[in-house]
Amino acid sequence: MNLNPEFQRLLWLHVTPGRLLAMPSLIGLIVALTWFSADPNERGMMLYSLGIAGFILLPLFWGARQSGESLRQELEENTWEAQRMSVLGPWQLTWGKLLGSTLLSWYGGLQLLGVLGAGWVLGARAELTAYPLFKVVLLLLLAALFMQGLSLLMRIYMARGFGARRRGSDAIYLLVFIYFIGIIVSALGDRISYIEWYDYRLVQLDFIIASLLFWGPWVLFGCYRQMRRELMFRNGPFAWPLFLIALATYVAGFLHEQALANHLILSLALLLALGYLLALTDARSPLTLRHLHIAWHRGHSLAFSDQLPLWVMPLLLALLAALAFIPVGQQFAAGVWGLSLLLFALRDIGLMHYYSFSPSMRRPELAIGFSLIAAYLLFPLLLGQLVGKGHPLLTLFWPHPDQPAIWLLLAPGLQLLLVVILLRARLHAMHLFTDYSTR
């Protein structure tokens, strides 16, 4: 049989006869324990809750973890290069990893859906009238698929930089997971809750299902594109900005106000935060900068856009959003504040690169962390004690919207200039701009 080789490899690794027996045995034991320990009138509800909790634990948490691990282990065991040498295409590798690494969790998950269904029939149906069972099941299935895809996407993106350090990437993954589970659990309450999005008032569960149906394919597409990048294929330049615009539009809808300027503020904040996070977790390879430099000088626009780090585009769109305040929102101050935030973000990203390219620094992320804590917490607190709250000098560390525009732009602008000078000197010392073709 011509199974996807990657899927088959992961089956060999994860789906063993022992595990196939252990999974139903374990679930059966827990069900029996629940059944006998529960009040006879609450057995149905208990089984229903057990089914949901178990599903969240297995395909959602463990499955998502496994899908990310499928790539991290490759890097750790030096087998990733061999995979890059295979003839498997990016899509084959993506779905092979995604399904192969999570199959055992789905095996347990389907049994837990059976438990959930049994609980529903045995009594939960009478108590929970807010949503039909199929919607709950659909939500769980889509949420698990989404989280598994997102986990793989995060691992592929972070594979070469931040994510190579297991603890750091585990912490980010855990934060995302906890946030996501919070959304899912809040939607599964026993009362119908609503959500306002732009001018619509929607049932929260339906909205989350629709959102997962919309964003799930984007996540898979993201995995596919990142996999293409790993396999030396060039990606087109349009999908990433299109995704960012879709995401900003989606998130802006949660601000249920009519004013377009307020939507722009939320979009700007989201784009800045995303760009910042991507820059923080980026591999920050000098080789990439070198290739960018060469592509720029030779006018190779496709090669340039292909090599461009992902954090650049959200910041570029954030700049556009900030500039759009002035004509669209008639809010000069808000636009300036947005620009000020962007300058601070660029300053930090410059510092991240400066530390990362230090020839003597063994753990640049520690220096980055310390600098950020000092810049955003310790110095402002100290200065606040010395000069008092609301002093213009505090704009050196954080843009207060009520400060004069000149301060808001000059304070981070000068810092950014200083960082650029330092970084440029470091890059020169690394011969990043040297032209070897004439030597």
Partner 1 sequence: MIQVRNLSFEYPGHRVLHQLDFTLEAGSVTALVGPNGAGKTTLLRCLAALERPLEGSIHIAGIDTRDAPREVHRQLGFLTDFFGLYEGLNVAQCLRYAARSRGIPGHLAMAKAEQAAERLGLADRLQAYPGQLSRGLRQRLAIAQAIVHEPPLLLLDEPASGLDPEARDDLAGLFRSLNQQGMTLLVSSHILSELDAYSTHLLALRDGRIRAHRPLTAAAHELHRVRVGLCEAPALRPTGEAIGALAELKWESDTELVIGYHGDAEARHQLLTALLAQGLKVSSFAPLQTALSQLYFDRDQAAAQEVSA
2 interacts with partner 1 by CB under 8 A: yes
39, 81, 199, 402: residue in contact with partner 1 (rule CB under 8 A): 81
Is 361:352 a contact under the CB 8 Å cutoff? Answer: no
15, 38, 88, 372: residue in contact with partner 1 (rule CB under 8 A): 88
Cα–Cα separations (whole angstroms), residue 61 to 20, 45, 304:
19, 23, 38
232 interacts with partner 1 by CB under 8 A: yes
Across the strands, what pairs with 200?
197
* Segment near partner 1 (CB under 8 A); pick from 214-222, 238-246, 248-256, 281-289: 281-289
Dist CA 399 CA 376 (whole Å): 11
DSSP for 362-379 reads S-HHHHHHHHHHIIIIIH
18, 36, 37, 77: residue in contact with partner 1 (rule CB under 8 A): 77
- Burial class from Cβ neighbours inside 10 Å (0-12, 13-18, 19+) for residue 85 reads exposed
Residue 108 C-beta: closest distance to partner 1, Å: 20
Q: By rule CB under 8 A, what string of x and - marks binding of each residue 419-438 to partner 1?
A: --------x--xxx---xx-
Count of chain residues binding partner 1 (CB under 8 A) = 37
386 interacts with partner 1 by CB under 8 A: no
18, 87, 179, 199: residue in contact with partner 1 (rule CB under 8 A): 87
138, 231, 283, 361: residue in contact with partner 1 (rule CB under 8 A): 231
For partner 1, give the closer residue by CB, 175 or 302: 302
302 interacts with partner 1 by CB under 8 A: no
135, 291, 391, 424: residue in contact with partner 1 (rule CB under 8 A): 291
Q: Which residues contact 373 (CB under 8 A, 6 or more apart)?
A: none
Q: What is the dihedral of CA 355, 357, 359, 360, to 10 degrees?
A: 20
381 interacts with partner 1 by CB under 8 A: no
Q: Which helix (H) or strand (E) covers residue 196, if one does?
A: strand 194-197
For partner 1, give the closer residue by CB, 9 or 225: 9
Q: What is the dihedral of CA 138, 144, 146, 150, to 10 degrees?
A: 170
78 interacts with partner 1 by CB under 8 A: yes
8 interacts with partner 1 by CB under 8 A: yes
Cα–Cα separations (whole angstroms), residue 74 to 84, 130, 217:
11, 44, 25
Kindly list the residues in this chain that would bind partner 1 in the complex (CB under 8 A): 1-3, 5-6, 8-9, 12-13, 77-79, 81-89, 231-233, 286-287, 289-291, 294, 427, 430-432, 436-437, 439
